[in-house]
A and B are shown apart, each in its own frame.
Chain A
């Protein structure tokens, strides 16, 4: 029986009592420091402002700028020359951490953050788009989890942008008290080096703007019997992410001329045709996987259990869309399983859990995100639909 998603929002109001002319002092607000606006980065010097910058996906180049026309606050700003890895066609990303042991600051508790603002100068003479958001987890120098992703259209010249911190959405996949950084992501420039023609921007004045009310910090994932992800419930859209050029969204199957294998909604993934030849993936969040019956399943129960889902390949050629299983503890994929999908039809996938355990005996204690892999070997966009990720127990 379906249960509706129940989003539990905890509203907490700070209360203060002020007595005029009385000897009593007002009670101290234990969260007073958390409510103070924070200038996270103003890019006034290499250390710590650039030193802590985290490059990803072959970002390009970042340097200090002291040309005042490109400075919105203080004396300097960061010049960004985003390139991305040319071969892999990756989206150049840089994030600035919210905490540092070396420089002794910790602004990672976003319970009172209303929004993140930043000034960015588009020095390209035309509109440019970029994405920005928050880093919720750092697995390694090459792997982070992102939340609150927002797309910005930048006009030539200065733009003041804000990243809204939607706590209810953030709480789905992240811990709002432990946000690791603020990221900025751009288009691939298809260039090995910075040239006159590659895009450039100037970044300054990243602020964490606070509010008085504390955001809710809890979210309860509720699933149907044996469900992993059926995409009928809104929150599951936030459980799927792709760091490569693509569209990932939950849609009504009927709007695309399809019958959903289960319910009405399906996951639609459109892979942009970059044709790098590289294998890439989109992922289903480990937060969701760990909320399923997989987590903590006994080996006895796993004896006749299968992981199943359906894929609709809306192209004219067969495609293999392998599913990789990972460990949550280190994010490493330990098993890759084929998912050969014939064109223009739904294909069912199944994999016996005991076969997974042969490769990683601890999988049921430490199930990590699912990685759906695809080879980026097409120059045209390709559309796929996924549905009904589930556990099947068979006799």
Chain B
């Protein structure tokens, strides 16, 4: 797709004319002379955007000034992007960085801590996710810019974008403040200076990774690296640790045998890798046996490995057992691949191995008399909690078979009801792969980076400690039966059928003379999310120390990004949520101990925050000291209310050592409220006769006031009872809609099945967006996630269809339901 040129600025044009005067002899086709600066447009965008190589107009809403601006905490990596849009060929570009200097201070931020990466593009020819994303060249692999220069890849063809991914690695002891510097980019001898502004917050991201993960790294890296050594696998695992993800096996399965010596070698290897606190766990290998003609795990080998891990723990004083997990391909997705018959055997053999090792523990501990009984007890607890992780959703059958740690797909955590199934698990795990597809979070190439990053946010909110992804290094293509060779390890987007990007997050580094792999933008998003998980971990601990929990405020800020496990957000909203997270954590960790105890919305656009602050500190809002706080424990609680019709930001803060530490947060956009009186003409027949009238709410339910729209649905046989809901306000539902709220009153004493469908102009198929039972009385129904719909194809919303039956097999008598009101919240 051709790139539309922007009108060059006058300043750039003048500079270009000056440059041309000094350029010397003009020769046609010579980029050295006659090159005009406006031939490259510089602009920035969020790290969460994927700027395709050949697209331009579609990024109008996320195109920002030509600067590098990042807000980061101490001890974290944080990134942004600078895009070069070339309107003429660029034969080569070079990047030069300066150290950044602290504004108003002497500290510097070393340029060595700034990574600049040339984004490599991978062709996506089919958009399997059907999420409205275009086909085209997607940025993914990140090549250090100096390597791009060395290998001659630092060029840009006319009509194309070239992204620079810029990552700040903030040292844990970097002084807080605003740092300024310059990035010089020379395109064919034309130099452009880009301002660099880094804000370092006085907040440390934990250097220990508290979440768990299993990202297998022993598939095919050797094919792309031409290196199958343990050194290369170590390089992959060590790089993964820097990205806050842990491997499954720490050695390739064909590198070791069942000998004692090899077992010790494996455990020693895992121990060494675990000394990096950013690596959280490792997988004890499974060996295959057969029992009653059913394939299962070798329980004797598992016992030996567990004993070896325990012994290493006793020897070193490091609880390796607490870092161990167990999963086996023997029962990977057993419900999908017809392997359920193996499950009870594997569970039995696993439990037998654990029991044997528990029995062996005391004898092992006696070999290390210097070990204290508390540590031995800790090891015992770790072993009792050692999980057998089974990649499937929870079923009664599997529970009967002995499964305790289910690892369902991420969409099984979408609803509160579904999440409850896993409440009794000591560790909660989930995974994503080919499915689920957007709007559920995942790592596909055509999905957004917000999606990849939000997985860790969801893990924190839903108390899911473990994230399983089947492979980071599929450097081959699965044809349905076998893996086949590929010729270009930087292309072939669908290496697993119908899933772009599934199975690989790295790219080979050896072709570039590197001893480690290239990371991808998706991996960067994963790390960013994992670091935000640590911020939530910190926030939760700070709140807990003050006697509060973060459930409410966490949902409040996360609602900008996702609902359930479905992502619907913009980069602007995402960073709004991230900024809120940072600010809340900072506030909670000040001596003022500021905590948001409650954040409620009455679903009519009235938002109220209840904020706690320790005695001795004033809580300010919009610069004014709040009065009339209610005494609570060692402090006071203040209420701050906002009417979204008038105001969209909430602001509060405290002064610590003369500096204001504040929380300034966009709560949401405007609301549109349609009362019953407004809606009475909005309902028409669909599959049954319909009578519509306006009634007094108190006549239906004495606790209600105002008016209701009575919908009397005629009797049907062989059909549903459903009505169309068309109102002008519905046409305003778009990708900018945060959520809708529909209140329906069920006058009976029984549940009424309810389904809400949406009919879009550009689709002949109705989309079901809500299925629920209407309880007796008033039901407040919320639907969000509109930002994740395929609006490119849907175009606009024509109407909603309300169904009040769930089956056409039996006849339905006439019934009356009542609609109270309808509210639309904008982002």
The residue from A52, A86, A141 contacting B220, defined by CB atoms under 8 A apart: A141
Given A88-B254, A330-B481, A332-B481, are A47 and B230 neighbors across the interface (CB < 8 Å)?
Answer: no
Supposing A53-B226, A60-B228, A193-B230 touch, asked if A140 and B255 sit within 8 A by C-beta, the answer is: no
Stretch of B7-15, B484-492, B774-782 at the chain-chain interface: B484-492
A59–B257 Cα gap in the complex (Å)?
A: 18
8 Å CB interface, A42-74 against B: 46-47, 50-55, 58-63
Beta-carbon contact of A140 and B226 below 8 Å: no
- Answer whether residue A101 sits at the interface, using C-beta atoms and an 8 A cutoff: yes
**Which residue in chain B gives the minimum CB-CB distance to A45?**
B511
Which residues of chain A from 292 to 346 have any CB-CB distance to chain B below 8 Å in the complex? 330-332
The number of A-B residue pairs with CB atoms under 8 Å apart is 96
Q: Please tell me the size bucket of the interface on A.
A: 35 or more
Q: How far is the CA of A311 from the CA of B66 in the complex (A)?
A: 77
Q: Using A54-B485, A58-B254, A87-B262 as known contacts, say yes or no to A63 and B226 having CB atoms under 8 A apart.
A: yes
Chain A: which residue is nearest B491 at the CB level?
A: A102
Against A, the Cβ 8 Å flags (1 = close, 0 = not) of B474-508 are 00100001111101110000000000000000000
In the complex the two chains form, what is the Cα distance from A104 to B54 in whole Å?
26
| Cα A176 to Cα B133 with chains together (Å) | 46
Are B229 and A61 interface neighbours, CB within 8 A? yes
Knowing A141-B485, A330-B481, A330-B482, say if A83 contacts B229 (CB, 8 Å).
yes
* CB of A378 within 8 Å of the partner chain: no
The smallest beta-carbon distance between B404 and chain A, in angstroms, is 30
**A58 B252 Cβ-Cβ under 8 A:** yes
Is A9 an interface residue when CB atoms closer than 8 A count as contact? no
In B190-227, the 8 Å CB interface with A consists of 220, 222-223, 226-227
Q: Mark A226-267, 1 if CB is under 8 A from B, else 0.
A: 000000000000000000000000000000000000000000
| With known contacts A61-B228, A63-B510, A83-B228, A142–B223 Cβ distance under 8 A | no
Chain B: CB-nearest residue to A61 = B227
Closest to B512 in A: A46
Q: Residue B256 at the A interface, CB < 8 A?
A: yes
State in angstroms the CA–CA spacing of A53 and B253 once bound together.
Answer: 23
B511: chain A residues at CB < 8 Å are: 46-47, 50-51
Contacts of A100 in B (CB 8 A): 487
Q: Mark A113-154, 1 if CB is under 8 A from B, else 0.
A: 000000000000000000000000011111100000000000
Contact present for B482 and A85 (CB under 8 Å) = no
Q: Does A5 contact B (CB under 8 A)?
A: no
In whole angstroms, what is the CA distance A390 to B520 when docked? 55
A194 interface residue per 8 A CB criterion: yes
- Give residues of chain B (231-261) contacting chain A, Cβ–Cβ below 8 Å: 231-232, 252-259
Residues of B within 8 A of A54 (CB): 223, 485
Report Cα–Cα, A277/B252, bound state, in Å: 15
Are B229 and A194 touching (Cβ within 8 A)?
yes
Is A10's beta carbon under 8 Å from chain B? no
**B253 to nearest A CB, angstroms?**
7
In angstroms, Cα B226 to Cα A85, docked, is 14
Among residues of A, the one whose C-beta sits closest to the C-beta of B234 is A193
Q: Mark B651-674, 1 if CB is under 8 A from A, else 0.
A: 000000000000000000000000
- Shortest distance between the CB of B758 and any CB in chain A (Å): 43
- Interface residue A90 (Cβ < 8 Å from any Cβ of B): yes
- Minimal Cβ-Cβ distance residue in B for A53: B226
A58: chain B residues at CB < 8 Å are: 222, 228, 252, 254-255
Minimum distance in angstroms from A56 CB to a CB of chain B: 9
B252/A51 in contact, CB under 8 A? no
Interface size on B, residues (CB 8 A): 30
Chain A residues near B223 (CB, 8 Å)?
A: 54-55, 141
Instruction: Choose from B228, B232, B482, B489 the contact partner of A140 (Cβ within 8 Å).
Output: B482
B482 touches A139 (CB 8 A): yes
Knowing A54-B223, A60-B228 are in contact, say whether A102-B487 is a contact too (CB < 8 A): yes
Q: Mark A92-105, 1 if CB is under 8 A from B, else 0.
A: 00000100111100
Q: Which residues of B are found within 8 Å of A59, using beta-carbon distances?
A: 222, 226, 228
Instruction: Report chain B residues within 8 Å CB of A90.
Output: 254
Assess the A141–B476 pair: CB atoms within 8 A. Answer: yes
* Neighbouring B residues of A87 by C-beta, 8 Å: 253-257, 262
Interface residue A8 (Cβ < 8 Å from any Cβ of B)? no
Q: Determine the chain B residues whose CB is within 8 A of the CB of A194 once the complex forms.
A: 229, 231
Task: Given A51-B511, A61-B229, decide whether A140 and B484 contact each other with a Cβ distance below 8 A.
Answer: yes
- The reply to whether B226 and A192 form a contact with Cβ atoms under 8 Å apart is no
Q: Give the distance in Å from the alpha carbon of A58 to the alpha carbon of B218 in the complex.
A: 12
User: Could you say which residues of chain B place their CB within 8 Å of the CB of A330?
Assistant: 481-482
Q: What is the bound-complex CA distance between A332 and B479, given in angstroms?
A: 13
In the docked arrangement, what's the CA distance between A100 and B487, Å? 8
CB closest residue in chain B, given A52: B487
A155 at the interface (CB under 8 A from B): no
Mark B451-483 against chain A: 1 for CB-CB distance below 8 A, else 0: 000000000000000000000000010000111
Flag whether A276 is at the interface (Cβ < 8 A): yes
Most buried by B among A55, A102, A331: A55
* A141 partner residues in chain B, CB cutoff 8 A: 220, 223, 476, 482-485
Does the CB pair A55–B254 fall under 8 Å?
Answer: no
Determine the distance from Cα of A101 to Cα of B477 in the docked complex, in whole angstroms: 15
Neighbouring A residues of B484 by C-beta, 8 Å: 138, 140-141
Q: Decide: A276 near B485, CB < 8 A? Known: A46-B511, A192-B230.
A: no
- Measured between beta carbons, the chain B residues less than 8 angstroms from A103 are 487
Output the least CB separation between B487 and chain A (Å). 4
Q: Given the complex, which residues of A lie within 8 Å of B485, measured CB to CB?
A: 54, 97, 138, 141
- A276 CA / B261 CA spacing, docked (Å): 13
Q: Is the CB of B487 within 8 A of A51?
A: yes
Nearest CB on B from A300, distance (A): 30
How far in angstroms is the closest Cβ of chain A from B34? 33
CB distance from B51 to the nearest CB of A (A): 26
Residues of A within 8 A of B231 (CB): 192-194
In the complex, A61→B226 CA distance in Å? Answer: 6
Residue of A nearest to B475 (CB): A141
CA distance in complex: A83, B253 (Å): 15
| CA of A143 to CA of B479, assembled, Å | 14
Contacts of B227 in A (CB 8 A): 60-62
In the docked arrangement, what's the CA distance between A142 and B483, Å? Answer: 8
* Contact of A101 with B252 in the complex, beta carbons under 8 Å: no
Q: How far, in angstroms, from A47 to B508 measured CA to CA in the complex?
A: 13
User: Contact at B257–A55, with CB atoms within 8 Å?
Assistant: no
* A87 and B481 alpha carbons, distance in the complex (Å): 26
A85 to B484, CA, bound (A): 20
Among B229, B476, B482, B487, point to the contact of A193 (Cβ < 8 A).
Answer: B229
Q: Are A276 and B257 in contact (CB under 8 A)?
A: yes
Taking the nearest CB of chain B, how far is it from the CB of A52, in angstroms?
6
Q: Is the Cβ of B257 less than 8 Å from the Cβ of A277? A: yes
- Scan residues 139-188 of chain A and give those whose CB is less than 8 A from a CB of chain B: 139-143
Smallest distance from the beta carbon of A153 to chain B beta carbons, Å? Answer: 26
Residues of B within 8 A of A51 (CB): 487-489, 511
A290 to B: closest C-beta gap in Å: 19
Cα distance, A371 to B482, chains bound together (Å): 18
The reply to whether B488 and A192 contact each other, CB–CB distance below 8 Å, is no
Question: How far is B258's CA from A238's CA once the two chains are assembled, in angstroms?
Answer: 34
* A277 to B257 CA separation, bound complex (whole angstroms): 6
A322 CB, min distance to chain B CBs, angstroms: 12
9 closest A-B pairs by beta carbon, nearest first, are A140-B482, A85-B254, A192-B230, A330-B481, A102-B487, A88-B254, A62-B226, A87-B256, A58-B228
Q: Which residues of B contact A (CB under 8 A)?
A: 220, 222-223, 226-232, 252-259, 262, 476, 481-485, 487-489, 510-511
A-B residue pairs in contact (CB < 8 Å), sample of 11: A50-B511, A55-B223, A58-B228, A62-B226, A86-B255, A87-B253, A88-B254, A103-B487, A193-B230, A276-B257, A331-B482
Instruction: Known A-B contacts: A62-B227, A63-B510, A141-B223. Give 19 more (CB < 8 A).
Output: A53-B226, A54-B485, A58-B222, A58-B254, A59-B226, A60-B227, A61-B227, A63-B226, A83-B228, A86-B254, A87-B253, A87-B257, A88-B254, A138-B484, A141-B483, A192-B229, A192-B255, A193-B230, A276-B257
